[in-house]
Amino acid sequence: MLFGLICGRGGGEKFFPLFREQSALISKAAALLVDVLKEDSYEKKKELSRQMKEVEREGDTVDANISGILYKARKTPFDREDIQTLGSRMESFLDMIHDSAKKLVIYRPNFTDSSWVEIGELIVEDANLLVAITQDFDQWKKKADELKAMCGRIKEIESEVDDIYENYMSHLFEAETNGIELTKCKNIVQSLEDTTDVAKEIGDTIKLMLVKEG
């Protein structure tokens, strides 16, 4: 059933495929990030980061398409400002995933801490939740509770990552005596933590959209 038949706004058939495409790219990038985190070979890390850059470029195109359609659309499935915000935050999520991988390549830390991998895997969970949410956008009236629950899980992930981040930073400043290495590790884990903050903003945006239109 088309979204316009459900809520009377219309226009969902133009936007929903783009949000699904963007979430699929985010999921692909998140998986590549974990590959970078787990890969021992520096050359392979660089290749994976290059692949992620291509995914990011595709995401930039999708975001531009969302903005272009929004500018011309007479009907929209949600509030125009909310659609723009969601598109922008999804692009930022993709950018942050790539930025985290890029830091791993540029800084070349002496080792990859297991905490970084743990956060990376939670970023993958964030991305997969976003895929599931956008897949059901056109059925939001029937599945509002399920969608809100997934948004809630994204918020929980952000809180879990905060705990991992704080524990790691406490250990880092106690154990690492090399100032340069400390700075590298601090910047990498900060980038990973910031990525889950953006995911939470996406979840908050979607939940607000559902509440406003419910």
Does any domain span residue 16? yes
Residue 195: partners with Cβ closer than 8 Å, 6 or more residues away:
93, 96, 97, 99, 100, 123
Contact 211, 99 (CB under 8 A): no
pTM of the prediction? 0.92
Residue 75's domain comprises 10-213
DSSP state of 154: H
Compute the average pLDDT of residues 163-168. Answer: 97
DSSP state of 139: G
- List, for residues 29-76, the tens digit of each pLDDT value: 999 999 999 999 999 999 999 999 999 999 999 999 999 988 887 788
- List, for residues 142-163, the tens digit of each pLDDT value: 889 999 999 999 999 999 999 9
Residue 56: partners with Cβ closer than 8 Å, 6 or more residues away:
29, 94, 95, 98
Q: Which candidate, 127, 106, 110, places its Cα nearest to that of 195?
A: 127
> What is the predicted pLDDT for the residue at 43?
96
Does any domain span residue 185? yes
> What is the predicted pLDDT for the residue at 8?
43
Query: Predicted confidence band at 198 (pLDDT cuts at 50, 70, 90)?
Result: very high
Does any domain span residue 111? yes
- List, for residues 74-116, the tens digit of each pLDDT value: 788 788 899 999 999 999 999 999 999 999 999 999 999 999 9
Query: Predicted confidence band at 141 (pLDDT cuts at 50, 70, 90)?
Result: confident
Residue 174 sits in a domain whose CATH number is 1.20.58.220
Residue 152: partners with Cβ closer than 8 Å, 6 or more residues away:
203, 207
Residue 165 scores a pLDDT above 50: yes
> What is the predicted pLDDT for the residue at 110?
92
How many residues does this entry show for the chain?
214
Q: What does the alpha-carbon distance between residue 162 and residue 139 come to, in Å, rounded to a whole number?
A: 33
Contact 16, 69 (CB under 8 A): no
Tokens representing 112?
A: 């990859």
Q: What does the alpha-carbon distance between residue 86 and residue 106 come to, in Å, rounded to a whole number?
A: 30
Tokens representing 39?
A: 């890969």
Count of domains in the chain? 1
Q: What does the alpha-carbon distance between residue 135 and residue 197 come to, in Å, rounded to a whole number?
A: 22
Query: Predicted confidence band at 7 (pLDDT cuts at 50, 70, 90)?
Result: very low
Does any domain span residue 4? no
Phi-psi region of 10 (alpha: psi -120 to 50; beta: other; left: phi over 0): left
Burial category of 187 from C-beta neighbours within 10 Å (exposed 0-12, middle 13-18, buried 19 and up): middle
Does any domain span residue 22? yes
> What is the predicted pLDDT for the residue at 24?
98
Does any domain span residue 131? yes
Positive/negative CA dihedral, 95, 101, 105, 111: positive
Does any domain span residue 1? no
Does any domain span residue 2? no
Between 126 and 1, name the one with better pLDDT.
126
DSSP state of 9: -
> What is the predicted pLDDT for the residue at 49?
94
